[in-house]
């Protein structure tokens, strides 16, 4: 029986929930927006899937600004920008907005030069088109392999946000959003939402534990704890996220 399970998991027909360890038919999981029906664990989504479940059908149009950035930078960066973050114009329940979605599956969604440029482009486009900006964040933080140029993106994106403060911005923290992304543009939104169980913070809990030599509480840096401390406005289940975003977009 264990062998049958292993084969079914390997070929993707069944998926094991990392939280409750139940085996779920992948098709059912897909229908349930990749939320475990047993324990409500929210699986991580890649950017393409996130766009499909959030935006109205066929409404997502990547920004031309992205294409211009890609032309300047050449091949490898085109691949990177296409994978580390996606952005464009979209409609949610027929309400127009600019949407950016970070992709944790690509290099931990880390923010290097290209991602920084993409975030800034999205903010500028939202300002020019007078549309609200919705940012789905999922990142391990700054791409430290790029050294000071990676860290520099914190400053650049914060400055871009300062210049576009009149643009309504909604951040959705998804699992995980850490490091320089939390500590820069993501936390400068007007409204901050999160998916249940997301890890949100600056340094990861293991790093902090090793530094201060002290055990941290089990829910440390969870969305639930941050909500109780007033850092977040609301935790929204994935099934309610589209409705909630549409409700908020109607304000602007």
Q: Which of 154, 183, 187, 157 is closest to 170 using CA atoms?
A: 187
Q: Which stretch binds Zn ion (CB under 5 A): 20-28, 44-52, 78-86, 112-120?
A: 20-28
Q: Does 23 bind Zn ion (CB under 5 A)?
A: no
Residue 28 lies near Zn ion (rule: CB under 5 A): no
* Shortest distance (Å) from residue 15 CB to Zn ion: 10
Q: Are the CB atoms for 137 and 102 separated by under 8 Å?
A: yes
CA-to-CA distance for 162 and 133, rounded, in angstroms? 14
Phi/psi at 148 (nearest 5 deg)? -60, -30
Write the DSSP string, 165-205: TTS-EEEEEEEEE-HHHHTTGGGG-SEEEE-TT-BB-SS-H
Does 33 contact Zn ion by CB under 5 A?
A: no
Q: Which residues contact 102 (CB under 8 A, 6 or more apart)?
A: 47, 84, 85, 109, 115, 135, 136, 137, 138, 139, 181
Cβ of residue 228: shortest distance to Zn ion, in angstroms? 23
Place of tokens 């007078």: 130
Tokens 């941050």 belong to residue: 226
* Exposed e or buried b per residue across 89-111, where buried means at least 16 C-beta atoms within 10 angstroms of its C-beta: bbbbeebebbbbbbbbbbbbbbb
Q: 5 vs 39, which CB is nearer to Zn ion?
A: 39
Tell me whether residue 40 or residue 59 sits nearer to Zn ion (CB atom).
Answer: 40
CB 105 within 8 A of CB 44: yes
The answer to whether the beta carbons of residues 98 and 64 sit under 8 Å apart is: no
Residues in binding contact with Zn ion, number by CB under 5 A: 7
Q: CB under 5 A: which stretch of 16-24, 106-114, 134-142, 211-219 binds Zn ion?
A: 16-24
Query: Rule CB under 5 A: which of 36-65 touch Zn ion?
Result: 36, 38-39, 41
- By beta-carbon proximity to Zn ion, the closer residue of 41 and 231 is 41
Q: Out of 8, 9, 16, 19, name the contact with Zn ion by CB under 5 A.
A: 19
Q: Which is nearer to Zn ion, 16 or 77 (CB)?
A: 16
Q: Is 20 in the site for Zn ion (CB under 5 A)?
A: yes
Decide if residue 17 touches Zn ion (CB under 5 A). yes
Beta carbon nearer to Zn ion, 37 or 62: 37
Joined tokens for residue 25: 């038919």
Binding segment for Zn ion (CB under 5 A), chosen from 10-18, 86-94, 124-132, 228-236, is: 10-18
Regarding 191 and contact with Zn ion (CB under 5 A), the answer is: no
Binding region for Zn ion (CB under 5 A): 17, 19-20, 36, 38-39, 41
């Amino acid at each position: 029986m264990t062998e049958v399970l292993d084969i079914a998991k390997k070929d993707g027909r069944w998926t094991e929930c990392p939280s409750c360890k139940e085996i779920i038919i992948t098709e059912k999981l897909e229908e349930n927006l990749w939320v475990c029906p047993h324990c409500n664990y929210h699986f991580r989504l890649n950017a393409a899937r996130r766009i499909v479940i959030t935006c109205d059908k066929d409404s997502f149009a990547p920004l031309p600004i992205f294409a211009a950035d890609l032309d300047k930078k050449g091949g490898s960066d085109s691949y990177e920008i296409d994978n580390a973050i996606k952005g464009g114009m979209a409609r949610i329940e027929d309400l127009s907005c600019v949407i950016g979605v970070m992709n944790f599956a690509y290099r931990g969604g880390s923010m290097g030069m290209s991602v920084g440029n993409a975030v800034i482009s999205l903010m500028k486009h939202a300002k020019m088109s007078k549309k609200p900006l919705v940012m789905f964040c999922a990142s391990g933080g700054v791409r430290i392999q790029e050294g000071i140029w990676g860290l520099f993106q914190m400053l650049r994106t914060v400055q871009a946000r300062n210049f576009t403060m009149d643009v309504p911005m909604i951040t959705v923290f998804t699992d995980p959003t850490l490091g320089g992304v939390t500590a820069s543009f993501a936390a400068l939104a007007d409204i901050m939402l999160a998916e249940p169980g997301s890890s949100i913070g600056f340094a990861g809990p293991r790093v902090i534990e090793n530094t201060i030599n002290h055990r941290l509480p089990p829910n440390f840096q969870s969305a639930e704890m941050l909500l109780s401390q007033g850092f977040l406005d609301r935790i929204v289940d994935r099934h309610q996220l589209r409705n909630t975003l549409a409700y908020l977009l109607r304000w602007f």
